[in-house]
Chains A and B, each alone.
Chain A
Amino acid sequence: MKKNFSKVLSIFRGLLIVLKYAFRRPVTIRYPEEKRKLPSRSRGRHYLTKWADGKERCVGCELCAIVCPSQAIYVKPAENTPDDVHSHGERYASDFQINMLRCIFCGYCEEACPTGAIILGNEYELSGYDRESLIYTKEMLTEKNPGDSGRDPKREI
């Protein structure tokens, strides 16, 4: 009897708890109008960064393409020639594509990169209307000016 009574009582306690929660602020937000600020190290879309002098960091070593578990990265390396210097190394990436449909945002490419060329930014709104638009080309990935991606262009790696 006493046990049953406490069971019934717990129903009312539950009701009161739910009522209490009704007066709290909702934890959800009106998404497209309001956006939550993500932690700075959260992983979103990729950037190919540049040095402070405007040269590309990527030296075309293909380590990112090798480490990528979902094989989303394609790198086509080419030699720097004296009158056409793209990077500080011997080679540079003449083509660099990331298939955002395959990418799982694990961040291994960022860890593998010896020059800190590829980094993952915070933007996560990466939808598109067709598959081609989601294969990011080198122009889309490379930051326009050094530091645009939020990464300090003077940083060594």
Chain B
Amino acid sequence: MLAQTMEVLIKGLVLVLLLMGAAAYMTFLERVLMARMQLRLGPNRVGPFGLLQPIADGIKLLTKERFQPAGVETFTYWLAPSISAFLALFIFVLIPVGGTVEIWGHPIRLQIADVNAGIVFLLAFSSLAVYGVVLAGWSSNNRYSLLGGLRGTAQMISYEVPMGLALLTVALSAGTLSLSEIVEAQKEHWFIWTNPVSFLIYLITGFAETNRSPFDLPEAEQELTAGYHTEYGGMKFAMFFLAEYINILAVSSIAVTLFFGGWHGPGDLPVVWFLVKIAFFVFFFMWVRATIPRFRYDQLMSFGWKVLVPLATLNLIVTAYFILVWK
């Protein structure tokens, strides 16, 4: 019992540290990639090739003044960033990073919790991320923040529906809700080949769920200064920032787990394939951000409800039909 607890705690600690570091370096990667796509050089001053830039940014953010504007709802104001960061990190409890490896004679599963209703858990916790956004927007006592928070809420709730419907087809195809079993079921062929429409819908909703461009309406600089985190600075802001980047990792790793065969790949290199696939998705997120302009709010809503929801429903029905007929 104690050994198991220790194992889970150590795995959790390693995961949190890795994710924080990855998120910090993703900000750097994004800046460099965007710069290259816009024919600029990007950050290259701190350290060789600018590689120490995230550390400099971290120090800057940590040593900033702990500023709190007048008229904010203090408790909620401080709670909101931690909700965002916690929920972003929590998703990774469920993701199978690899199979079972042996370290010093102990067989260790590279997944923290193999919940038998993994997909349901995923959906539940990714919807909770709305709270970070809406509470931050509301408690800041600022019109831009409130607008950003409300937009974020409406957007995330609307896109939750097609996302759930898209993930249901995966559950149908695999015949299970457990993520590790879904990965096992993709040993022969990845689910992207059998459910390409669900993957497309998931990818689009994934962009919306992480509030990334082209769906970055909650934090649209041009119209809402910074949206729901306008009034946040220093480490509080960094928490939102980290949460956003960890959410990108989360959405990528869910996509990899459900559609791209998880950690399976040629050769016996479990974690490596997982990381390679995630890296591709992370690149894709940044690539899209450098390319596609922001949606208008009514376009966003009508696209979500009038295109994605019917399409996802239809896709679900067709998948269910095929599974009934072929199995």
Contacts and interface: CB of A to CB of B under 8 A. Distances in A.
Contact of A19 (B35, B40, B44, B287): B287
A30 B39 contact: no
8 contacts: A11-B292, A17-B291, A18-B287, A19-B287, A21-B39, A24-B39, A26-B36, A29-B41
A14 interface: yes
Contacts of A24: 39
Interface residues of B, number: 14
B288 A15 contact: yes
Interface in A27-51: 27-30
Contacts of A19: 37, 287
Contact of A22 (B36, B44, B292): B36
Nearest to A13: B291
Interface of A: 11, 14-15, 17-19, 21-22, 24-30
Contact of B33 (A11, A22, A28): A22
Interface in B258-304: 287-288, 290-292
B40 A26 contact: yes
B40 A15 contact: no
Q: Report whether over half of chain B's contact residues are helix, strand or loop; otherwise say mixed.
A: helix
A28 B39 contact: yes
Contact of B37 (A11, A22, A25, A30): A22
B273 to A, nearest CB: 23
B204 to A, nearest CB: 11
Contact of A30 (B41, B287, B290, B292): B41
A24 B38 CA distance: 10
Contacts of B287: 15, 18-19
A14 B39 contact: no
Contact of A15 (B38, B41, B291): B291
A153 B200 CA distance: 72
Nearest to B40: A28
Interface in B134-179: none
Nearest to B292: A11
B288 A27 contact: no
A30 B44 contact: yes
Contacts of B39: 21, 24-28
Given A15-B287, A19-B287, 17 more contacts: A11-B291, A11-B292, A14-B291, A18-B37, A18-B290, A18-B291, A21-B36, A21-B37, A21-B38, A22-B33, A22-B36, A24-B39, A26-B41, A28-B39, A28-B40, A28-B41, A29-B41
Contacts of B33: 22
Interface string B28-59: 00000101111111001000000000000000
A27 B287 CA distance: 19
A16 to B, nearest CB: 9
B30 to A, nearest CB: 13
B36 A14 contact: no
B287 to A, nearest CB: 6
A21 B37 CA distance: 5
A4 to B, nearest CB: 9
B171 to A, nearest CB: 27
Contacts of A15: 287-288, 291-292
A22 B40 CA distance: 9
A31 to B, nearest CB: 10
